[in-house]
Amino acid sequence: MHEPRDGRHAITETLPETPQEVTEKVLHNHLATGPLFRVAAVFCGVLLLLGVVGFILRVAGGFDDRTKWGYYGAIFFYILTTAQAAPIVSVAMRMAKNHWRRPLARAAELYAIVGVLNLLIFIPLLFVLPSAAGRRSLWLDGAARMNAGGSGWPPLAPHLWIALMLAGLVFLGLALLYTAALPDLATVRDHSTSKRHSMLRRLTLGWRGTPFQWRAHRAALGVLGGLYFMFYISTHSFIAIDYGVALVPGWKDSIFPAFQVLSSLQSALAITLVTMFFLRQTGGYKEFFYVDPFWALSKILLATTILWFYFWWASFFTFWYGRTQAEQNVLQLLMFGPYRPLFILAFLFSFLLPFLLLIWNAVRKSILGPTVAAALVLAGNFFDRLRVYVASFSVEDIRAHQLESVPAAHLPDGADILIILGALGGLVLFYLVGTRLVPVLSMWELKEYLTLRRIRPFLKTHVRVMAKPE
Amino acid sequence: MARREVLGLFRDAETAAGATTVLHEAGVRQDDIEVLTGAPYPEGAFGEHIKRHRIYLFPMIGAICGFTVAILLTAGTQLAYPVVTGGKPILSVPPMVIITYEGTLLGAILFTVLGVVFESRLPRGKIGLYDPRITEGFIGLVVSCAADQWLAVEQALRRAGAFEVKHEQA
């Protein structure tokens, strides 16, 4: 920490002083695997195996009864809207060119690896989703063409197109991660030996760090980031419509897709905060994750938490004010009926409790405060995904004009619990494996920061002075 | 004439930036100097002239290709199954929007990835004259010179404060 001569702490930054120190410290942690890491990896591996057992049990029951796949669908959406959404934090902060993002950028974009797991989880859901024929869906004209003896339109809609979207998002996330990590992989290449060195030599394609390469690298990150943003919003919206709104007759809600995108932004921030906390406490990166990134992210988390309420309210109020039987049934199904406990928990954990915590600057400007609020948000999102997708999967007659009756609550069985545990274990395991492949801190961004930043005396204190080359 | 490369390693950026001036005075052209760094520096920090890249062209071309394929696919399937629905025209734009959007973005993504590789002049089979300490924070200046001038370049680099000088074996 840079302490001014009079002892007042004007600068809370605790980053290493030189690029050499950054390289040394990050590589030391990256190349070493501690006992805690192994224990966590084995534990998560066991959970993943349990999940596979649960999955086999679920598949043995067939794909015809959609209700049974409700919890499976919910956990897919939970991962989609938390871990798989996390790279958007890195993309957005890099676009905004803020400096406090530098320690957390890689921690967030590394979650792109979890997208591979979620893509695998998604495959069975393609068999669960009914054809677009004869029902209200995003895919226009399907019914008419099916009735006319055609194969539906667009061909293989919605299955092929949402699978392509999700695969595109996963590919884009990995491309973004690889591009962002390329200079750091070159650093690991230069400081490793034998097998790892020869593998990285191929993977880094001969990166040397010429000004031309850096320029192309920066432009590529900008373009890929912009594309990721566009793909992220559309994929979340379309999949939420196909597996949520379109499965509930009478749920005519244009706000829900936006709500899903917003809640995924909120959860992406939350999982990034929690990851930062763990990297700080157990990963050996204490000096990199000082209070500034926590403080800065907590402000955006507070904003998204308030927006969560606004989006929920806008959606709820439209149905509540409409007051028709169909609208009341939709509200009963999603909020006040069989899944009321889940709704209350989601409301408390996604909005009320984090809001009450984060309105205090003393809480925001700390390490623990934002982390606790973020953990609450992650729990809230879990309950919210269960509330929405278990409920929407439980509707039997999806081709009805409106929801005539509210189905009873579908409780999880043993297979569901195993699947949920397995998916969560898999999420953490994939991330842990990712940290072994790619440094969890963006060394080149930190080093760039150190070249641009100077600590200078200002009256009786010291301040940071930043060069702004662009 | 045969060319040879000489690498000067500098402990800090200031000395490396000053070294380019010394090299110019020694008769080395700017285009013959390549700066190697472990982190991006502001453009022109070492007095280097950076060639324009065309990376933004790649997503544009990809997007146009993706858009075209998506239009052909959606229009083609609508024409292949010419079912009149509610008196609406066979070729209707709204149902084509999602596929077109998706196709455009997928095309842009694929071409961007290709563009990154192409515009970064990667992959390089041989990494060339290089030092692992560059990724630790050292600055490398690679000077390409006539084979009979490498000694003069090496001396100029040392005079400019190079911590170490390497050169290609003749």
The whole-angstrom distance between A326's CA and the closest CA on chain B is 26
Q: Indicate whether A431 belongs to any domain.
A: yes
Residue B92 confidence (pLDDT): 78
Q: Reply yes or no on whether the pLDDT at A9 is more than 80.
A: no
Q: Indicate whether A4 belongs to any domain.
A: no
Q: Indicate whether A2 belongs to any domain.
A: no
Residue B113 confidence (pLDDT): 86
For residue B112, count CB atoms less than 10 angstroms from its CB and return exposed for 0-12, middle for 13-18, buried for 19 or more: buried
The residue that leads in pLDDT, A102 or A133, is A102
Nearest CA in chain B to A221: B116
| Contacts with B92 from chain A: Cβ below 8 Å | 140-141
The average pLDDT across A388-399 equals 92
Q: Which of residues 406-465 of A touch B (CB under 8 A)?
A: 443-445, 447-448, 450-452
Residue A212 confidence (pLDDT): 86
The residue that leads in pLDDT, A138 or B12, is B12
Q: How many residues make up chain B in this entry?
A: 170
Q: Does A216 touch chain B (CB under 8 A)?
A: yes
Nearest CA in chain A to B37: A209
Domain that holds residue A319: 19-466
The answer to whether the Cβ–Cβ distance between B56 and A219 falls below 8 Å is yes
Residue A7 confidence (pLDDT): 44
ipTM attached to this prediction: 0.85
Q: Does B63 touch chain A (CB under 8 A)?
A: no
CA distances from A125 to A163, A456, B155 (A): 10, 57, 68
The answer to whether the Cβ–Cβ distance between B106 and A24 falls below 8 Å is no
Residue type, A427: L
Residue A152 confidence (pLDDT): 53
Nearest to B105 among A230, A443, A469 (CB): A230
Tokens 């973005």 appear where? Answer: B105
| Contacts with B102 from chain A: Cβ below 8 Å | 161, 164-165, 168, 234
The average pLDDT across A91-95 equals 93
Q: Indicate whether A131 belongs to any domain.
A: yes
The average pLDDT across A92-112 equals 94
Q: Does B116 touch chain A (CB under 8 A)?
A: yes
User: pLDDT confidence of A244, banded at 50, 70, 90?
Assistant: very high
pLDDT tens, position by position, for chain B (170 residues)?
677 888 999 998 889 988 888 888 888 888 888 899 999 998 888 888 777 778 889 999 999 999 999 999 888 887 887 777 677 777 878 778 888 998 999 999 899 888 888 877 777 777 788 888 998 889 999 998 887 888 888 888 888 888 898 887 65
In degrees and rounded to multiples of 5, residue A464 shows phi and psi of: -85, 135
Q: Indicate whether A9 belongs to any domain.
A: no
Residue A1 confidence (pLDDT): 47
The answer to whether the Cβ–Cβ distance between B112 and A223 falls below 8 Å is yes
Q: How many CA atoms lie within 13 A of A117 on its CB side?
A: 28
Q: Does B13 touch chain A (CB under 8 A)?
A: yes
| Contacts with A191 from chain B: Cβ below 8 Å | 132, 135
| Contacts with B48 from chain A: Cβ below 8 Å | 211
User: pLDDT confidence of A8, banded at 50, 70, 90?
Assistant: very low
Q: What angle do CA A313, A314, A318 make, to 5 degrees?
A: 110
How far is the C-alpha of A382 from the C-alpha of A349, rounded, in Å? Answer: 9
How far is the C-alpha of A387 from the C-alpha of B95, rounded, in Å? Answer: 31
The answer to whether the Cβ–Cβ distance between B121 and A212 falls below 8 Å is yes
Residue A263 confidence (pLDDT): 95
| Total domains, chain A | 1
Token digits of residue B160: 């400019």
Residue A144 confidence (pLDDT): 54
pLDDT digits (tens, 9 = 90+) for A256-282: 999 999 999 999 999 999 999 999 999
Q: Reply yes or no on whether the pLDDT at A5 is more than 50.
A: no
**What three-state secondary structure class fits A138?**
coil
**What three-state secondary structure class fits A53?**
helix
pLDDT digits (tens, 9 = 90+) for A313-366: 999 999 999 889 989 999 999 999 999 999 999 999 999 999 999 999 999 999
pLDDT digits (tens, 9 = 90+) for A188-197: 999 888 888 8
Q: Could you give all domains of chain B from N- to C-terminal order, each with its CATH number?
A: 3-49+127-167 (3.30.70.120), 57-119 (no CATH)
Nearest to A223 among B39, B55, B85 (CB): B55
Any bridge partners for residue B3, and if so which? B146
Lowest mean pLDDT among A12-26, A150-164, A185-199, B103-117: A150-164
Q: Indicate whether A10 belongs to any domain.
A: no
Token digits of residue A455: 């600590």
**What three-state secondary structure class fits B131?**
coil
Q: If we measure between CA atoms, which residue out of A134, A92, A122 comes closest to residue A109?
A: A92
Residue A149 confidence (pLDDT): 52
Nearest to B38 among A19, A140, A141 (CB): A19
How far is the C-alpha of A6 from the C-alpha of A462, rounded, in Å? Answer: 10
The answer to whether the Cβ–Cβ distance between A172 and B109 falls below 8 Å is yes
Q: Indicate whether A54 belongs to any domain.
A: yes
Q: Does B35 touch chain A (CB under 8 A)?
A: yes
Residue type, B103: G
Residue B26 confidence (pLDDT): 81
Residue A461 confidence (pLDDT): 86
Q: Indicate whether A8 belongs to any domain.
A: no
Residue A417 confidence (pLDDT): 97
A-B Cβ pairs (cutoff 8 Å, strict): 181
What share of chain A in percent tops pLDDT 90? 70
Nearest to A154 among B74, B109, B128 (CB): B74
Q: Does B101 touch chain A (CB under 8 A)?
A: yes
Tokens 């006319």 appear where? Answer: A148
